[in-house]
Amino acid sequence: MKILSLFFIYISTIAFGQISCDYSLKINNDNLKNTGYFTLSVSNTGAQSFNIPRRIDFCNIRLVEFAIFNNKTNTYEKMDLANKNIDCFKPDKMKVLKSHQIIKYKVNIKSAFEVLESANFFENYNNFRYRFKISFPLNNYKNCEALITDWIYKN
């Protein structure tokens, strides 16, 4: 009976145990307003390797949150935007990101916004301060199906 109890404890630990997503992000958005591009660096800070897309584009990126700065209240206000899920009918080419390895992406958010939201989205909001979060899939990484960025600011 004791062995059976230990077995169930072991199985529940495996099934319900949380393995954290061991990655860190660095964002360089210095020229975002002028170019529509920012650089995203993803570093694997854990011991486990995981698969990550070779490139980030509108086929695998998702807009998670979007907020516009309100000058009157000096706060960011969340906006509900269309949440399009674009399927490019092609599998993402993946790269194994080994422990303590870094991959850098040059993300064209202008192009992504035009596909995910509307044409001329970037130009229409160019004079506004806003922030957004994006996500993209991480395949074969336990309890971590997607990477989600911190706020990315466009001032």
| Secondary structure letter of residue 116 according to DSSP | H
Distance of CA 98 to the CA centre of its chain: 19
Look up tokens 């269309």; give the residue. Answer: 82
User: What's the confidence (pLDDT) of residue 82?
Assistant: 63
- For residues 70 and 30, what is the distance between their CA atoms, to the nearest angstrom? 22
Reported as a single tens digit per residue, the pLDDT across 104-121 is: 999 988 888 777 777 788
Q: What number of other Cβ atoms are within 10 A of residue 135's Cβ?
A: 16
Rounded mean pLDDT, 61-88:
83
Residue 22 has pLDDT above 80, yes or no: yes
- For residues 16 and 51, what is the distance between their CA atoms, to the nearest angstrom? 22
Q: Which helix (H) or strand (E) holds 4?
A: helix 2-16
pTM for the complete prediction? 0.74
Burial 1-23 (b: 16+ CB within 10 A, else e): eeeeeeeeeeeeeeeeeeeebeb
| Secondary structure letter of residue 68 according to DSSP | E
Q: What number of other Cβ atoms are within 10 A of residue 123's Cβ?
A: 12
Domains of the chain: 22-154 (2.60.40)
Rounded mean pLDDT, 86-109:
84
- Residue 146, token pair as written in the block: 């997607």
Rounded mean pLDDT, 73-77:
96
Rounded mean pLDDT, 139-147:
70
